[in-house]
Amino acid sequence: MKLAVLKETRSGETRVAATQETVKKFISLGASVVVQSGAGEAARFADADYQSAGASISPSAADAAQGADIILKVLAPSSEELRVIGRGSKLIAILSAYKDPDSVAAYARLGVDAMAMELMPRITRAQSMDVLSSQSNLAGYKAVIDAAAYYGRALPMMMTAAGTIAPAKVFIMGAGVAGLQAIATARRLGAVVSATDVRFAAKEQVNSLGATFVTVDEEAMKEAETEGGYAKEMSQDFQSRQAEFVAGHIAKQDIVITTALIPGRPAPKLVSADMVRSMKPGSVIVDLAVEAGGNVELSRAGEAIETGGVTILGFNNVPGRLAADASSLYARNIYNFIAAFFDKDTKSLDADPEDAIIKAITLTRGGAVVHEAFAAKEEAE
Amino acid sequence: MKLAVLKETRSGETRVAATQETVKKFISLGASVVVQSGAGEAARFADADYQSAGASISPSAADAAQGADIILKVLAPSSEELRVIGRGSKLIAILSAYKDPDSVAAYARLGVDAMAMELMPRITRAQSMDVLSSQSNLAGYKAVIDAAAYYGRALPMMMTAAGTIAPAKVFIMGAGVAGLQAIATARRLGAVVSATDVRFAAKEQVNSLGATFVTVDEEAMKEAETEGGYAKEMSQDFQSRQAEFVAGHIAKQDIVITTALIPGRPAPKLVSADMVRSMKPGSVIVDLAVEAGGNVELSRAGEAIETGGVTILGFNNVPGRLAADASSLYARNIYNFIAAFFDKDTKSLDADPEDAIIKAITLTRGGAVVHEAFAAKEEAE
């Protein structure tokens, strides 16, 4: 089994799909690994490091992909890259299939067996393969470091001979993987941290990290939870009261970090232009959902802007801003997936098509679209 | 007593010598305060904030300084600014007198009574007025935030479903005020921290912050200490063994922060070009002494450079990168000084010239250079 690791070509993509560590592990499994020269450059992994781990280095993507059974990438290939991937090869990457359904048809047409890592099901067995979770975790950390870098004050309380500096007030909106890591990091730095989430179940996790949970009506959330979750159930009345309460809270914060995503849909708008204007000059907002349309009305993808003295950070690919660690975790996710389905006798990735994980992430196989969500769509057209 | 707060004019100076808080306090003392319009802008303090604290706003430096008894600044005035300061006015700022002794003669010639905050003696009574200490403290914090912002990995250990990320190794050279705050901040962020200092007495403080003290020969340092301090006493042999030991230590670090200053002399070179080259690609060095010539051979003042994959941050005015807090603490240092010597009957700053603090910081009075270090120099010429 030959694995090829290609260099990412999209602008701003610093990550790489394999590391020295995973190359070694693949070779122990009995695979051979080819790495395109410079693939790890942006993450500071040198060709020589891959070589010393046992990989061979290829001068071009075409050369690396030649005869490869599996192509490893971070992001979906461009149409140019796709041309070098041979019929019958497996492609494993974050394929953003829902955002770009046309690409799925292209994989089928070219006979590429495409597996979308972002569709990994949230089941226990797949946790170690979950790229959304591994990358969100780092994004949550980096959001706080970015906020601290742009904020004109220190985050911790400082007791000095000249007097005391008050700790920063940090508010995290959305307490998923990214939000919880942001809470933990802001707490590490000594900030006073609060957080909110549409799921009342998040309260306990928020509290356990030393932050307070912000809600206008805890009883209403509690009731809704026992009746089967927030999103559908909360009344219009609750939602407008909560929005007003959150608006009042935001006006008192120094740093706001938003992390709310809804799978397959644009990110919810949580912070209006009025709320931005209500904040003190010098405050910082980080919009981690900016690539999905943004949680903040004024944020702009790929930019750090300032409006009324408030800085709004809308960096793209925040995990890629920690290229080395993001690559390490991503590469491990991929290794964990391949190792779990690797057949030691045939020395190949030959998994049961009916396995829950394989079913969830396989878009195309043998020239056909096989994923439910996209196969149905094809037929309907 | 009229106090005038001027806007800083040197490029990159973001701080301001008074805040809303200190304006209020000066007014309670019985003083009046004039603030030059825009003086607090770079630190995000609006004219309106100063006004609501009781200050009046002047459109220009000349206008603000007109008839002022005391001029408050952060840095020494340019020759242009100096022209607006009236004969008999007191000037209180970081005057960098040793770096620019000619300015001292100019103050005398123009009849400005100049007081240099950076010469505040290190005695208990003056601790709350010590600007070097208050600003170094923030520089130590910001050095770690800057390093974390440029470092392509996370600082804390992270235990994720995909596996564990090792914590960063951070080495702090020089355990003074800046170094100790850098240790504390790196520890907060979960790094594995070590530190060194020429004073063995620093070991206890380093350890109390959860960092290890790096020395090739603890016994030799201990002995030297009891015999009266390191700097003069340590043998050539010790120094070369220590340098070699530190070189080996640096090669294993992810982040190195240097903070070593010698008052009135160029900063000691601690990190050679060879040591920089010995570090892993992706490592980050922060040279907090860059404005005093630098502790790192390759660092450049005002720049973030990269060499062999190692990033070297040589930012100028690191406290000014936290403009709001740096201004708050600086303004409090100034207030604490003025309040301590304020005469409530005459409503003026009329201190005993023989007081240890006044003697240490007063450069000129009534048209004459009165500070020992500079008066002697004048006579000698």
Chain A residues with CB inside 8 Å of B128's CB? 161-163
Strand pairing class (A348-349; A342-343): antiparallel
Beta bridge partners of B348: B343
> For position A24, what pLDDT does the model report?
98
Q: What's the CA gap between A238 and A230, in Å, rounded? A: 11
Instruction: Choose among B236, B239, B293, B241: nearest CA to B262.
Output: B293
| Interchain contact B185–A (C-beta under 8 A) | yes
CA A62 to chain centre: 28
Q: Which residues are within 8 A (CB) of B1 and not within 5 positions of it... i.e. 6 or more apart?
A: B30, B31, B32, B69, B70, B342, B347, B348, B349
> For position B234, what pLDDT does the model report?
75
> For position B232, what pLDDT does the model report?
54
Instruction: Choose among A117, A47, A99: nearest CA to A363.
Output: A117
For A14, which residue in chain B has the nearest alpha carbon?
B152
Alpha helices, DSSP H, located in chain B: 20-29, 47-52, 61-65, 79-84, 101-109, 131-150, 177-188, 202-208, 218-226, 230-233, 236-250, 273-278, 323-341, 356-361, 372-380
Put simply, the answer to whether A156 touches B141 (Cβ < 8 Å) is: yes
Catalytic residue among B107, B141, B150, B230: B230
Chain A residues with CB inside 8 Å of B321's CB? 152
Q: Is the pLDDT of residue A265 over 90?
A: no
Q: What's the CA gap between A236 and A264, in Å, rounded? A: 24
Strand pairing class (B310-314; B284-287): parallel
Q: Nearest CA to CA, how far is A264 from chain B (Å)? A: 24
Q: Nearest CA to CA, how far is A211 from chain B (Å)? A: 16
Beta bridge partners of B311: B284, B306
Phi then psi for residue B54, to 5 deg, are 115, 0
B24, with CB counted inside 10 A (0-12, 13-18, 19+), is middle
Tokens representing residue A46 in the block: 């040198």
**Residue A211 in contact with residue A195, Cβ under 8 Å?**
yes
> For position B379, what pLDDT does the model report?
58
For the stretch A102-153, pLDDT in tens is: 999 999 999 999 999 999 999 999 999 999 999 999 999 999 999 999 999 9
pLDDT digit of tens for each residue in chain B (381 aa)?
A: 999 999 999 999 999 999 999 999 999 999 999 999 999 999 999 999 999 999 999 999 999 999 999 999 999 999 999 999 999 999 999 999 988 999 999 999 999 999 999 999 999 999 999 999 999 999 999 999 999 999 999 999 999 999 999 999 999 999 999 999 999 999 999 999 999 999 899 999 999 999 999 999 888 888 877 665 445 567 888 889 999 999 999 999 999 999 999 877 899 999 999 999 999 999 999 999 999 999 999 999 999 999 999 999 999 999 999 999 999 999 999 999 999 999 988 888 888 999 999 999 999 999 999 999 998 665 555
Tokens representing residue B251 in the block: 């090669």
DSSP category for residue B305: E
Q: What's the CA gap between A59 and A46, in Å, rounded? A: 14
Token look-up 């990994």 returns A120
> For position A228, what pLDDT does the model report?
56
Q: What's the CA gap between B75 and B229, in Å, rounded? A: 33
> For position B229, what pLDDT does the model report?
47
For A331, which residue in chain B has the nearest alpha carbon?
B162
For A185, which residue in chain B has the nearest alpha carbon?
B189
Catalytic residue among B127, B235, B239, B240: B127
A163, A282, A329: residue with CB nearest B162: A329
Chain A residues with CB inside 8 Å of B44's CB? 152, 280-282, 309
For the stretch A283-328, pLDDT in tens is: 999 999 999 999 999 999 999 999 999 999 999 999 999 999 999 9
Chain B residues with CB inside 8 Å of A323's CB? 152
* SS3 label, residue A287: strand
| Interchain contact A149–B (C-beta under 8 A) | yes
Q: Nearest CA to CA, how far is B13 from chain A (Å)? A: 13
Task: Please report, as a single letter, which amino acid is at residue B168.
Answer: A
Instruction: Choose among B64, B101, B117: nearest CA to B86.
Output: B64
Establish, for the pair of chains A and B, how many residue pairs have beta carbons separated by less than 8 Å. Answer: 125
Catalytic residue among B58, B133, B205, B327: B133
> For position A221, what pLDDT does the model report?
87
For the stretch A141-186, pLDDT in tens is: 999 999 999 999 999 999 999 999 999 999 999 999 999 999 999 9
